[in-house]
Amino acid sequence: MDFVKYNVEGHIGIITIDRPKALNALNTQVLNELDETINRIDINQIRCVIVTGGGEKAFVAGADIAAMSKMTKDEGQRFGKFGNDVMRKLEMLPIPTIAAVNGYALGGGSELAMSCDIRYCSDNAVFGMPEVSLGITPGFGGTQRLVRIVGTGMAKEMVFSAKNIKADKALEIGLVNGVTTQEELMPTVMKLAQKIASNAPIAVRNAKRAITDGFLADMDHAIMIEERCFGDCFETEDQKEAMTAFVEKRKGVEFKNR
């Protein structure tokens, strides 16, 4: 792979969009490689995935404008559909995902970060939805995910004005969960990923499913989704062992993902 790196550290998978000369902009090749990388993630081993950008300036500075500038309508539609499919595949990964936003996250870059469950950023990060300034609408789910994360008023202001926001504002509006220095970003996110990975993997996956699926459902249906996810955990060895350990006052349960 030329532009997407995948490293595994224990139970953590780290995806790096690594095209720093173009500020990690997403062209068809990058999206293809990201798609293949997501397909390769072994969810029996990996319990949390981190997505970040190569270099020190950008997470992802958007879809590749040079490539898009020459696209026909059909090519634009295919590009948009494929990008959307990849973002959706990332969003629907059964295990938690964290975006470590280490610089510019514009357009498709913001949309990639928003396809992750959790976002942290460095203090040099810049978020924005500049699409309308380029004559297009957000096309990788930005109009839909931003509104669900920050609410309609703020999402509409960002999308209609194409104004960028800095890390402190992103924190204030809930677009990110935390801001660190650049040096501290990966250690902070790794620590969170390890904490997630130390919990019962099937329970974490079921909790992700309950939150994601339930969020889009009406409350009666959402509660049923939660009940199913909760009930399923009682078929697992990890639940039996964790609760038995508690009753027997044993510490340090090693979860088996079974």
Catalytic sites, residue numbers: 111, 131
Q: Does 131 participate in binding ligand DAK (rule CB under 6 A)?
A: yes
Task: Look at residue 122 and give its three-state secondary structure.
Answer: strand
Instruction: Report the nearest approach of ligand DAK to the CB of residue 169 (Å).
Output: 16
Q: Considering CB under 6 A, how many residues would be counted as binding ligand DAK?
A: 24
For ligand DAK, the binding residue among 90, 107, 179, 210 (CB under 6 A) is 107
Name which of 106 and 171 has its Cβ closer to ligand DAK: 106
164 in Cβ contact with 62 (< 8 Å): no
Candidates 126-134, 168-176, 186-194, 210-218 — which segment interacts with ligand DAK by CB under 6 A?
A: 126-134
Task: List strand residue ranges (DSSP E) for 27-159, in order.
Answer: 48-53, 58-60, 97-101, 104-106, 118-122, 126-128
Q: Determine the distance from the C-alpha atom of residue 105 to the mean position of all C-alpha atoms in its chain, rounded to a whole number.
A: 12
Instruction: Report the nearest approach of ligand DAK to the CB of residue 201 (Å).
Output: 33
Instruction: Report the nearest approach of ligand DAK to the CB of residue 33 (Å).
Output: 16
Task: List strand residue ranges (DSSP E) for the chain, in order.
Answer: 4-9, 12-17, 48-53, 58-60, 97-101, 104-106, 118-122, 126-128, 165-166, 178-180
For ligand DAK, the binding residue among 63, 125, 203, 225 (CB under 6 A) is 63
Instruction: Report the nearest approach of ligand DAK to the CB of residue 165 (Å).
Output: 13
For ligand DAK, the binding residue among 43, 136, 222, 242 (CB under 6 A) is 136
Dihedral sign (CA 187, 169, 167, 84)? positive
